[in-house]
């Protein structure tokens, strides 16, 4: 069991969010569903907590009511090793009412923020030791929604 894991507050869509994540991430598994009992505060029998795992990370989703909403100050990062992987996660995580953001950020249909990134891009922008090359790559990335490894490399190369 991991020492620290995300605990996500949903109004009433914890189970749907879990199912969504299970459908997106191939390396995932369903955990325990805990239901509200007589004492509430949710309706008796409705899901209170959904536990699941994605890519080895335990996640707990709570149906806690409409008190809190997600915002961009917290996001989950998906590291991708190829453009095909970026494309896969970008399309699935932003589907059905999600929204693209800038520089690889997006919101899923539940309003949770994700970053779909590549270590290759970070390497191109930060490890070159050439500030002009880095600035060109960063300028290209800042104009993007979904990241494009080849386009950022071309910008870095001038």
**pLDDT tens, residue by residue, 46-94:** 999 999 999 999 999 999 999 999 999 999 999 999 999 999 999 999 9
CB-CB neighbours of 40 under 10 Å: 10
Short-list 139, 152, 140, 84, CA closest to 116? 84
What are the phi and psi torsion angles at 123 (to 5°)? -60, -45
Number of Cβ atoms within 10 Å of the Cβ of 94:
20
| Intra-chain end-to-end CA distance of the chain, in Å | 47
State residue 128's pLDDT score. 67
Tell me: the pLDDT tens digits for 2-40? 899 999 999 999 999 999 999 999 999 999 999 999 988
Please check the confidence at residue 127 and state whether its pLDDT lies above 80: no
Whether the CA torsion 97, 55, 89, 5 is positive or negative: it is positive
Per-residue model confidence (pLDDT) at position 23: 98
Report the candidate in 33, 2, 37 with the shortest Cα–Cα distance to residue 17: 33
Architecture of domain 1-68: 2-Layer Sandwich (3.30)
Residue ranges of domains in the chain: 1-68, 70-158
Q: CATH fold of 70-158, please?
A: 2,3-Dihydroxybiphenyl 1,2-Dioxygenase; domain 1 (3.10.180)
pTM value is 0.93
Residue 13 carries which DSSP code?
A: -
Any idea which residue has 């997006």 for tokens? 106
Q: How far apart are CA 137 and CA 158, in angstroms?
A: 9
Buried b (16+ CB within 10 A) or exposed e, 23-34: ebbeebeeeeee
Contact present, 90 and 117 (Cβ < 8 Å): no
């Amino acid at each position: 069991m991991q020492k620290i894991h995300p605990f996500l507050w949903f109004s009433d869509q914890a189970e749907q969010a879990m199912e969504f994540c299970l459908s997106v991430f191939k390396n995932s598994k369903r955990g325990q569903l805990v239901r509200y009992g007589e004492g509430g505060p949710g309706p008796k029998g409705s899901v209170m907590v959904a536990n699941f795992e994605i890519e080895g990370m335990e996640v707990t989703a709570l149906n806690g009511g409409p008190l809190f909403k997600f915002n961009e100050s917290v996001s989950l990062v998906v590291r991708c090793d190829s453009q095909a992987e970026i494309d896969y996660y970008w399309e699935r995580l932003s589907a059905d009412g999600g929204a693209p953001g800038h520089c690889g950020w997006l919101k899923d249909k539940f309003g949770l923020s994700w970053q779909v990134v590549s270590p290759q891009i970070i390497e191109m922008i930060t490890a070159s030791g050439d500030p002009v090359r880095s600035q060109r790559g960063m300028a290209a990335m800042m104009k993007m929604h979904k990241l494009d490894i080849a386009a950022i490399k071309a910008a870095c190369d001038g």
